[in-house]
Structure 1
Amino acid sequence: MASSTKEISRELPPLLRVYKDGTVERFLGSPIIPPIPLDPQTGVSSKDITISQNPLISARIHLPKLTNPTQKLPILVYYHGGAFCLESAFSFLHQRYLNIIASQSNVLVVSVEYRLAPEHPLPAAYDDGWFSLKWVTSHNIIDNSIATAEPWLIKHGDFDRFYIGGDTSGANIAHNLLLRVGNSITTGVESLPGDVKIKGAILAFPLFWSSKPVLSENIEGHEESSPMKVWNFVYPDAVNGIDNPLINPLASEALGLDTIGCPKMLVFVAGNDDLRDRGIWYYDAVKESGWKGDVELVHVEGEEHCFQIYHPETKNSVDMVKRIASFLV
C-alpha cells in the first residue's frame, strides 16, 4: 500500500499526476538540455537569461550565425506549447526546433520559460507572457550600460521587425497578448515600452475551445474532450469555465477580434489534429471580425498535432519552416 505522502490528489491522464504531498509527476515532455554556444547543425548560438526573479521568468535566446558583427535581425518572441502544464523553452524538442527557425528564418528568437500549471495555475502563464513581452520590448529604449539589459537584443535586435508566436497553448498565449496589445493601443493604457509595434504573429495549432462543438467536432463526448479536461485542470477557477474569453475567443465577454494588435497573422492547422477545426473556426472568426489586418490559414493535410516539432526532417515540416521564414521578414 502506498504511503500517505504518495497518495494521489488529482491527475490529468496521460499528462501528469499530482500527489497529496504536493509533488507533480509529468509523464510526457522531452528532456531539459543546456543551451548550445554554437550548434554544429544550424550554426545557431543559444544562452539562457533571467527576465524576472519574482516571479521567476526566464528565457532561452537563439542567435543565428551573423554575416557581420553589427547585423540587425528580426525578433521573434516565442511561447512554447504543452497544454500550459508540460514542456519547456529549455527542452530538447524546442531547442532543436527553434534553432531551425532561427537559422532558416535568420531571426533572433526569445523563447519564454513561463510558469506551468498545476504548481502555478492560470492566469500565471498569461501574466508571465505579458511581463516577458514588455521586458523584451524595453530593450528598444535601454542600452548596454544597464545591468539587466540583454546585449544580444540591443546589438542585434531590429525592433521594427518584431514578431510573436507559439504552438498550441503558446499560440493561445500569443493570441491573448495580441488582444491586450491591441486594446492598449486604442485605450492608451499599458502599451509596450519603446513604442514597439508587433509586425506579425504566428499561431501554430492554437488551443481554443468552448462549451459548444464547432464545424465537424463530435457533439457526443464533447464534455469529456481533452481540451475541456486540460482547461479545467490548469485553470480550475476560470470564470465561466471553458467559455472564459482566454480559451474561447468568441465568448460573450471576449474582447473583439477586430482589436488584434498586429497587421498580419499566420495560422497553421494539421489535418489529423483534434484542434484542426478550432484553428479554422478562429481563422474564419478573425476574417469576419472587421479586423483590418491580413490573416492566412495554412492547412497541412495528413499531419498530426505539432508534427514540425517532433519530426522536423519531413517534407511538410521543412515546408512549414520555409513558410514561417517567408513571413518573418
Structure 2
Amino acid sequence: MDSTNPTSEVVYDIPGLFKVYKDGRVERYRKHDFAPPSDNPISGVRSKDVVIVPEDNVIVRLYLPKITQNDEKFPLLVYFHGGGFAIESAFSTYYDSYLHSLAAETNVLAVFIEYRLAPEYKIPACNSTGANIAYNMMMRASADEDKLGVGERLKLVGMALIHPYFGGNNKPDPIWSYCCPDPKSDGPRYNPAAHPNLLSRFVCSKILICTGGNDIIRDGG
C-alpha cells in the first residue's frame, strides 16, 4: 500500500473482521469462496436460491431433504450465519457444505438467510450477527403471539444461539459503536438481560447458547 497516498490511510481497524480506509473502501480480513446451489446425489438434499425482497436484495438459500412420500412435511429451520456483523455469507463453501449435511442428518427444511453486512450497511440493516438475528426473531414472534388466533400460531420448538454477541457489561465495544449509528447499550437488541419481561414471554421452551473460547466476541455471549 502506498503510504504517500492519503486515501490509503486506515481510519478504522477491527482485527479479524475489516479495515476501513479514508476513501471509504472496506477491506475484509477474511473472504469466502462462492458455492452455487446444487443437488447432492449422495444425501438427496437439494438447494435453491430464492429472492424474497428484490428491492433490498434479500435472498434465501433453501435446503430440501430427500422426499420419500408425496405428502411429506418437514420441520422448518431458519438459519443465520455468524461473522461479527461483517464477514461470511449464506453462499460460502463452508456454510453450504454444513447446511447440506444438517438438512440430511436432521431431515429438516433449512432456510438460510443472506443478509447485508456491516460496515457498508449499518445496524439494524445487518441486525447484528447470526445468533443475534435468531434472538431478535424469537423476540418479535413472542411479542406477536397474542395477536394471532390459535390456528395461525407457529409452534416454535427452540432456538440455538451459536456465538451470540450481546452487551450489558458496561465495557466500550468498538465493533458495536462503529457498526451501529445509534448504539443504545440497554436496547433489547443488544442487552436482553435489561429486559426480563421480554425474555419471560419467549414462546419457545428450549434455548441453547454456545460461546467460542477463542472467539474475539466471546465475552458478548
> What is the TM-score of this pair, normalised by structure 1?
0.59
1:1-329 equivalent positions in 2, closer than 5 A: 1-36=3-38, 38-40=39-41, 42-126=43-127, 169-186=129-146, 188=147, 194-212=152-170, 223=172, 228-240=173-185, 243-251=186-194, 256-270=198-212, 279=221
C-alpha displacement at 1:2, in angstroms? 4.7
C-alpha displacement at 1:123, in angstroms? 0.8
CA contact (8 A) 1:42 1:103 kept: yes
C-alpha distance after superposition, 1:88-133 (max 9, x if no partner): 111111101111110110011000011111111001133xxxxxxx
CA contact (8 A) 1:75 1:107 kept: yes
SS in 1 for 2:103: helix
Matched AA of 1:173:
I
Q: Distance in 2 between matches of 1:229 and 1:57?
A: 27
CA contact (8 A) 2:145 2:153 kept: no
Q: Distance in 1 between matches of 2:152 and 2:55?
A: 23
Q: Distance in 2 between matches of 1:275 and 1:8?
A: 22
Q: Distance in 2 between matches of 1:238 and 1:273?
A: 22
Question: Cα gap change, 1:41/1:238 in structure 2, threshold over 3 Å: closer, same or farther?
Answer: farther
SS in 1 for 2:35: coil
Q: Could you tell me which runs of 5 or more consecutive residues in structure 1 were left unpaired when the two chains were aligned.
A: 127-167, 213-221, 280-329
CA root-mean-square deviation: 2.7
CA contact (8 A) 1:179 1:255 kept: no
Q: Could you tell me which runs of 5 or more consecutive residues in structure 2 were left unpaired when the two chains were aligned.
A: none
Paired-residue identity, %: 39
C-alpha displacement at 1:275, in angstroms? 6.0
Q: Distance in 2 between matches of 1:5 and 1:273?
A: 31
C-alpha distance after superposition, 1:153-177 (max 9, x if no partner): xxxxxxxxxxxxxxx9211111122
SS in 2 for 1:171: helix
Aligned position for 1:298: none
C-alpha displacement at 1:229, in angstroms? 2.3
Q: Distance in 2 between matches of 1:276 and 1:41?
A: 36
C-alpha displacement at 1:264, in angstroms? 2.6
Q: Distance in 2 between matches of 1:210 and 1:169?
A: 17
Aligned position for 1:300: none
C-alpha distance after superposition, 1:280-305 (max 9, x if no partner): xxxxxxxxxxxxxxxxxxxxxxxxxx
SS in 1 for 2:144: helix
Matched AA of 2:200:
D
